A and B are shown apart, each in its own frame.
Chain A
Amino acid sequence: MSVDLDAVRRIARLARIRVTEAEMPHLQAEINAILKFVEALEAVDVEGVEPMTSVIPMRLPMRDDVVTDGEIPGKVLANAPLSEDDFFLVPRVIE
């Protein structure tokens, strides 16, 4: 299995990482090298095998449905690149 340049463009879009046209072929080669490496897995018989969901036998613990946190806008915004009035500021979001 390998990817062409269109697939690399699509993946970059999905991953929200700007990749220039000049960088594309090298990245394509890197991705294909890894896909070649994992190719061997196609031959493994996984018939009737459950995918691993939890690596230790643990049930999701439950707790009481009460508020135990919050009212700390200062802390939440402390590392914000840009903020105002308890909001994170961002450039426009195009619909």
Chain B
Amino acid sequence: MTDLTSLTLAEARDRLKSRAVTSVELTRAHLEAMERAKGLNAYIAMTPENALQMAKASDERLIRGEGGPLEGLPIGVKDLYATEGVHTQACSHILDGFKPTYESTVTANLWRDGAVMLGKLNMDEFAMGSSNESSYYGPVASPWLPPNWSREKALAALAGDKRGLLTPGGSSGGSSAAVAARLCLAATASDTGGSIRQPAAFTGTVGIKPTYGRCSRWGMVAFASSLDQAGSLARTMRDAAIMLRSMAGPDPKDSTCWPEPVPDYEAAVGRSVKGLTIGVPKEYRLDGMNPEIEALWSKGAEWLRDAGAKIVDVSLPNTKHALPAYYIVAPAEASSNLARYDGVRYGLREPSADIVDLYEKTRARGFGSEVRRRLMIGTYVLSAGYYDAYYLRAQKIRTLIKRDFERVFADRVDAVLTPATPSAAFGIGDKSSEDPVEMYLNDVFTVTVNMAGLPGLVAPAGLSNEGLPLGLQLIGRPFDEETLFSLGEAIGQAARPIPLPEPWWR
């Protein structure tokens, strides 16, 4: 029998419908794989009894012919989605023991459509990071081995501090690792500055951050409310499209959630890209750019041209301001959102003499160093005397960034093609964070998309000379995720398939 965890989400869906396999069998296969992969640290909370219960209920519905679009399909959930009665801590110590009494809208949509929850996935604390190294639960090891590492060396590192093993990216590192290691058929993730797209690029998987407002943020632990967006991570374009369709949709509980219905994203996968115009922005060509990345980017444009699209040079002049502006806006919004973690109503509480002592001690103990750093910056740029010079200015620059894209799209460009990351995956412990900005530079190609509220998709496009996955990013018009899925599929068809690593960890 085929290893059930090697099926794509779409293949599993079809086999469940035809009753060639049951959800219980599929779920069991994934739970076993998760047990054997514990060392990767992708899951920080596994829910096997609940999963089997959900699978059994799905099988009953499938027998009656009443299955939903995700019926019986086992998926993983990033730890920042509120899952009722189940560990939800955004991988932070300050939310110790928190079990929500409500379900996030995005996950409620998944259960409405019949999906089975396998557990909660590791992430950078409060989604602040690009490597999953800031998680309270420790780093995640990518299923991709560092170049020239033997299995023995990898297993030794896995059992220790994981130093040298590759990061699966961040902040959705647990999601990308689990998808690439076949520990779930797909995963929910979130993206504030690149946290879905960069991990997808690092692991050879597909990641989509839809337009701001496409998915509801109700029940998602908030980082930066004007930038956060839910999205899907999967092994194929079709799978990511199927997941996103279930996740997305109007929600009266989120006043920033777009009220229009969700199109059939799966139908866009495989649609012809003939006649589409693709913009290649010159400002994304950085000084000293990795030549492999630059070559892949040109190749991507060639593939789309061969598929019938027209390639044009475009200009997005304010691109270089996006990353610094993001590192003012995002921490500022985070400082406001994370003010609620004060030891009073949930999570960690430190023994203290009075209320201010309670706040200060709890927050000092509960927040990791990256979170603390960003909260301090955020507090500073919003404080009296600095608000205008920093936050207001950054928000004006944001308008300029969005206007650049609007101008390009008005000029009949359908999507913009850029690299996804400045390099392939780096090693755990490599970016020693003496200079915090070193890690932030990972987001250089992705933050513009959040700043402008646009949809962004990463498609696996090739391997580096060292054999590590590289991705390409497509940026689309607001609410035009369909065009991104069809372009992403065209890239996938043209590129050589990237086989995901065989398990070396069991």
A51 touches B437 (CB 8 A): no
- Does chain B have a CB within 8 A of A67? no
Distance of A85 from chain B, by nearest CB (Å): 15
Cα(A16)–Cα(B343), bound, Å: 12
Other-chain contact of B347, A11, A81, A82 (Cβ < 8 Å): A81
- Does chain B have a CB within 8 A of A52? yes
Cα(A53)–Cα(B256), bound, Å: 12
A46 touches B393 (CB 8 A): yes
A33 touches B98 (CB 8 A): no
Residue in chain A with minimal CB distance to B259: A61
Residues 4-41 of chain A, each 1 if its beta carbon lies under 8 Å from chain B, else 0: 00011001101111110000000100110111011111
Distance of B181 from chain A, by nearest CB (Å): 32
- Interface-forming stretch among B16-24, B49-57, B165-173, B320-328? B320-328
Most buried by A among B99, B318, B392, B395: B395
Contacts of B363 in A (CB 8 A): 15-18
- Does chain B have a CB within 8 A of A66? no
A37 touches B343 (CB 8 A): no
Distance of B257 from chain A, by nearest CB (Å): 9
- Does chain A have a CB within 8 A of B60? no
Most buried by A among B318, B347, B357, B376: B376
> Of residues 342 to 370 in B, which have CB atoms within 8 Å of A's CB atoms?
342-349, 352-361, 363-364, 367
Interface size on A, residues (CB 8 A): 52
Contacts of A41 in B (CB 8 A): 321, 324-325, 328, 393-394, 397
B258 touches A88 (CB 8 A): no
Interface size on B, residues (CB 8 A): 73
Most buried by A among B320, B353, B367, B394: B394
> Of residues 375 to 412 in B, which have CB atoms within 8 Å of A's CB atoms?
375-377, 379-380, 383, 389-390, 392-400, 402
Contacts of A93 in B (CB 8 A): 354-355
Cα(A91)–Cα(B392), bound, Å: 37
Contacts of B212 in A (CB 8 A): 55-56
Residue in chain A with minimal CB distance to B349: A81
Cα(A25)–Cα(B475), bound, Å: 41
A51 touches B347 (CB 8 A): no
Cα(A1)–Cα(B380), bound, Å: 12
Contacts of B342 in A (CB 8 A): 16
- Does chain A have a CB within 8 A of B308? no
A3 touches B380 (CB 8 A): yes
Residues 206-226 of chain B, each 1 if its beta carbon lies under 8 Å from chain A, else 0: 000001110000000000001
Contacts of A82 in B (CB 8 A): 349
A91 touches B98 (CB 8 A): no
- Does chain A have a CB within 8 A of B453? yes
Assuming A50-B396, A88-B344, is B324 touching A38 (CB within 8 A)? yes
Residue in chain A with minimal CB distance to B361: A18
- Does chain A have a CB within 8 A of B65? no
- Does chain A have a CB within 8 A of B97? yes
Contacts of B396 in A (CB 8 A): 46, 49-52
Contacts of A18 in B (CB 8 A): 360-361, 363-364
11 of the cross-chain contacts (CB-CB < 8 Å) are A8-B376, A17-B364, A17-B375, A37-B324, A44-B397, A46-B396, A52-B402, A56-B258, A79-B100, A91-B352, A94-B354
B-side residues, CB < 8 A to A, are 97-102, 211-213, 226-227, 252, 255-256, 258-259, 318, 320-321, 324-325, 327-328, 335, 339, 342-349, 352-361, 363-364, 367, 372-373, 375-377, 379-380, 383, 389-390, 392-400, 402, 435-437, 440, 452-453, 478
Closest CB pairs A-B (n = 4):
A55-B453, A51-B395, A81-B349, A79-B346
